[in-house]
């Protein structure tokens, strides 16, 4: 019984520590889990219709790749104060390298 409690406590502490570290790193696990929620953001919903968005991928540092039926876009959420941000949306060009 003691061993089970120790394993459970260690697992919970590890998960909490990973989430805390994730909050301060460029790649935020919580944003990856909730990446589809940006469809409801007012800045994105003005630019895209919910029906035309096929997929959203979080790439780190508040950067998302939005796949639509026509083209791919890169959306960057840039904060200009603690609580206020703007969306910058770019058309994705061909990758190389």
Residues 36-58: tens digit of each pLDDT: 888 888 888 888 888 888 999 98
At residue 73, the 3 state secondary structure works out as strand
**Residue 32 CA, distance from chain mean position:** 4
Band (pLDDT 50/70/90 cuts) for residue 97 is low
Q: What is the chain's length? A: 97
Measured over the CA atoms of residue 20, residue 22, residue 26 and residue 30, the dihedral's sign is: negative
pTM listed for this prediction: 0.70
């Amino acid at each position: 019984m003691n061993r089970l409690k120790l394993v459970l406590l260690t697992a919970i502490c590890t998960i909490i520590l990973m989430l805390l570290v994730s909050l301060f790193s460029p790649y935020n696990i919580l944003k990856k889990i909730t990446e589809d929620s940006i469809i409801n953001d007012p800045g994105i919903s003005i630019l895209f219709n919910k029906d035309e968005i096929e997929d959203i991928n979080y790439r780190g540092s508040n950067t998302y790749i939005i796949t639509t039926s026509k083209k791919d876009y890169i959306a960057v959420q840039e904060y200009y104060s603690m609580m206020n941000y703007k969306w910058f949306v770019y058309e994705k060009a061909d990758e190389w390298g």
